[in-house]
Chain A
Amino acid sequence: MLELENVWKSYRVGSLGSKRLTAVRDVSFTIAPGEVLSVVGESGSGKTTVGKMVLQLISVTRGTIRLDGRDITAAGKRGLREYYRKVQGVFQDPFSSYNPIFKADRVLEMVRQTYFPRVGRSEWQAKVEESLQSVGLDPGAVLGKYPHQLSGGQLQRMLIARALLLDIEVLVADEIISMLDASTRIDVLNLLGELKERGLAVLFVTHDLSLANYISERVIIMRHGAVVETGATAKVFGDPRHPYSRNLLASVPQLHTKWADNQFHAEELEPDGDRDRPPAPLTKVDENHWAAAAG
């Protein structure tokens, strides 16, 4: 169980860190094993920052992140290595996740060097093959290849296979579908669904509402660093209560309805104000559905 409690993040920006930018404001959520939670937002909403904090790639300014009840920010370097046994991430661009000079399967070998130095070659080989097969890759077709010889979908799945070599509990997937083509992206998306059935918790960060709708049980909509609406996917997307969510949903191009057919007038939204102030609190609007007060 991963828990975020009142998490804030401020960056120092500008020359010599003269300005402060608050990217994440008072975000709390939990992800249980066997669940996909989507964090949806436009650029600058703070969704990626949330993922990075969970992966401990950046520090938390205020608040706590706990994994199975233990505060992860308190762990030292040693503790971090143990943490990465349980929590791993996959990112947007599969081509820049690999070092182009080395063969792609090096990412798998590095897991062995760091975490399983005592495991023998043949035992490890069997483990690698099993892991690759579980993400739908044919080991013979991907092992010993350079990154440029593999497709984006294959590379992304190999990174997921890498994460599965460890006994991970949480996978942070940050826009992992965005750079893939329509005909292959659904494979990676369905794979996330399978991981969920195996008991993994997946934090799915995306700007694409249709992907979030397809894959996740629960969804969080972020704006200006804060959560504006959250709850069961069907409730949030089916009956959006916050004006921002309504605007967003009305802007998504869909195949079963045209923009021109439903006259929707975008609602006026509160501008980006003082980000150091606590955001509007979430109130329960329905079973399994919370929204921030608007205006």
Chain B
Amino acid sequence: MSLEVNDLRVHYRTLKGDVRALDGVSFDVADGEIVGLAGESGCGKTTLGKSLIRLDGRMRHVGGTVALDGEELPIGDDRAMNKRRFKDVSIIPQYSMSAMNPTRRIGRMIADLLGSRGIAYRDLKRELVQRLELVGLPEKVLDNYPIELSGGMKQRMVMVISTLLDPSLLIADEVTSALDVSNQKAVAETLVRFRDMGFVKSMIVVTHDLSLVYQIADTIMVMYAGRIVEKASAETIVKAPQHPYTKALISALPEVGLEYGDRKLKSIPGKPPQLLNPPTGCRFRARCPLAGDECAEQPPLVGIDRGHEAACWKLEESNARA
């Protein structure tokens, strides 16, 4: 088991009180697994990604544990965590177009980065050049400044840098959102290739785009209002979802390759709850077509099938409707 997250709670401190962005999240990521983390804005997916590598100033680790390769990850302790970053846990940030130091030549910047981990640049130079070739970048880009590269090239450069030390866990946060469709596909497929070649052991791909993550992930977790509502293989989430939220979300996605004619897709009425004072019980309750009295109590994430979990009291009813 590569990553084990147990009842993780991370809150944001605000003047009005704590915003419970992550409210008791538990899951595992196996060796070699690509987990897609999907959800709408504000559901806590980016917070989850971030809290596994670096909590920013407003974020507070309230409870729960994270273990990577059997060893606890001190996520609340910035200094202790720093030793693990890049080597054990690495991230491809959301705005990787602007992730590189603009005042340094790229090669020099990488040398600095490696230096901070006590590794000599020349020892890794050959490996670096090989990996650059793999993503279609020539060696000479190392002498360029980031501004001299196009958006797609910068994205690939950052992907190579982030995975240079073969981290055990890679977090890819909305890496494809800012790209055009054709680049999107290339980047997504590169992530899979990096996993296949063993550059990273396991990966969490954070995205709002279910159809993209379906293409590359082994497992998909769907989050809603700070909690995981369903987790299953990519195939199951898309073809046979169980949770009412997942079902509604998937049926609201228009697609290419289908003819709609007069058929109309349906949205989910209402909006997600505020996480400052989240409602008790199931958080999807207010928007759920099946909600009943028992939903006033928080449903646990229970196993339905092998590798398939969902948090809903109404799973049987939900199935009967489908």
Residues of A that sit less than 8 Å from B by CB: 42-43, 151, 181-187, 189-190, 193, 207, 209-211, 213-215, 234, 237-238, 247-249, 251-260, 266
Of all chain B residues, which has the CB nearest A269? Answer: B182
Question: Residue B41 at the A interface, CB < 8 A?
Answer: yes
**Chain B residues proximal to chain A, CB less than 8 Å:** 40-41, 180-182, 184-185, 188-189, 208-212, 214-215, 238, 248-250, 252-260, 264-268, 271
B260:A42 contact, CB within 8 angstroms: no
Q: Is the CB of A253 within 8 A of B209?
A: yes
Contact indicator A248/B182 (Cβ below 8 Å): yes
Interface of B: prevailing SS: loop
B254 cross-chain contacts in A, Cβ below 8 A: 186, 189, 210-211, 213-215
Given known contacts A209-B256, A210-B254, A210-B255, A255 and B181 CB-to-CB distance under 8 angstroms: no
Contacts A/B (CB < 8 Å), 23 sampled:
A42-B180, A42-B181, A151-B271, A182-B249, A183-B40, A183-B248, A186-B254, A187-B267, A189-B265, A209-B256, A213-B254, A213-B258, A214-B255, A234-B259, A251-B185, A252-B181, A253-B209, A253-B211, A254-B257, A255-B211, A259-B189, A259-B215, A266-B182
Task: Check A42 against B182 for contact (C-beta < 8 Å).
Answer: yes
Instruction: Give the complex CA separation of A183 and B222 in angstroms.
Output: 13
Give the docked Cα–Cα distance between A255 and B259 (Å): 14
When distances are taken between beta carbons in the complex, the residues of chain B under 8 Å from A238 are 259
Q: For residue B258, which residues in chain A have a CB less than 8 angstroms away from its CB?
A: 213, 256
CA distance A252 to B176 in the complex (A): 12
Other A-B pairs beyond A210-B254, A253-B209, A255-B238, 15, CB < 8 Å: A43-B180, A151-B271, A183-B267, A183-B268, A184-B267, A190-B264, A209-B181, A210-B256, A213-B257, A214-B260, A234-B259, A247-B182, A251-B185, A252-B256, A256-B257
Q: Do B253 and A255 have beta carbons less than 8 Å apart?
A: yes
Measured CB to CB, the closest approach of chain B to A135, in angstroms, equals 14
CA separation between A250 and B264, bound complex, in Å?
24
CA–CA, A182 and B181, complex, Å: 18
Taken together as a complex, chains A and B put the C-alpha atoms of A248 and B181 apart, in Å, by 7
Q: Are A255 and B214 interface neighbours, CB within 8 A?
A: yes
CB distance from B254 to the nearest CB of A (A): 4
Q: Which residues of chain A come closer than 8 Å to B215, judged between CB atoms? A: 253, 258-260
Report the separation of the CA atoms of residues A193 and B264 in the bound assembly, to the nearest whole angstrom.
Answer: 9
Let me know if A237 and B256 touch, CB within 8 A.
Answer: yes
Q: Give B134 Cβ to nearest chain A Cβ, in Å.
A: 18
The 5 closest A-B pairs by CB, nearest first: A214-B254, A183-B268, A42-B180, A253-B211, A181-B40
Distance in angstroms between the alpha carbons of A257 and B211 in the assembled complex: 10
Q: Which residue of B lies closest to A186 (CB)?
A: B267
Q: Which residues of A contact B259 (CB under 8 A)?
A: 234, 238
- Of listed B41, B208, B267, residue having the most chain A CB within 10 A: B267
Determine the chain B residues whose CB is within 8 A of the CB of A189 once the complex forms. 254, 265
A278 to B95: give the CA distance in the assembly, Å.
37
Q: Please report the C-alpha to C-alpha distance between residue A10 and residue B301 in the assembled complex, in whole angstroms.
A: 57
| Bound-state Cα–Cα, A237 to B260, Å | 12
Question: Which A-chain residue is minimally distant from B212 (CB atoms)?
Answer: A253
A245 to chain B, nearest CB (A): 11
Q: Which residue of B lies closest to A259 (CB)?
A: B215
Q: Quick one: which of A214, A249, A255 contacts B210, CB cutoff 8 A?
A: A255
Measured in the bound complex, the distance between the Cα atoms of B251 and A186 in whole Å is: 10
A79–B182 Cα distance when bound, in Å, is 42
Residues of chain B with a CB closer than 8 A to A252's CB: 181, 211, 256
The interface residues of chain B lying within 8 Å CB-to-CB of A266 are 182
Please report the C-alpha to C-alpha distance between residue A207 and residue B182 in the assembled complex, in whole angstroms. Answer: 11
**Bound Cα distance from A43 to B258, whole angstroms:** 25
Contacts of B184 in A (CB 8 A): 251, 253
Query: In the complex the two chains form, what is the Cα distance from A210 to B255 in whole Å?
Result: 4
- Distance (whole angstroms) from the CB of B241 to the closest CB of chain A: 11
Task: Name the residue on A nearest B251 (C-beta).
Answer: A186
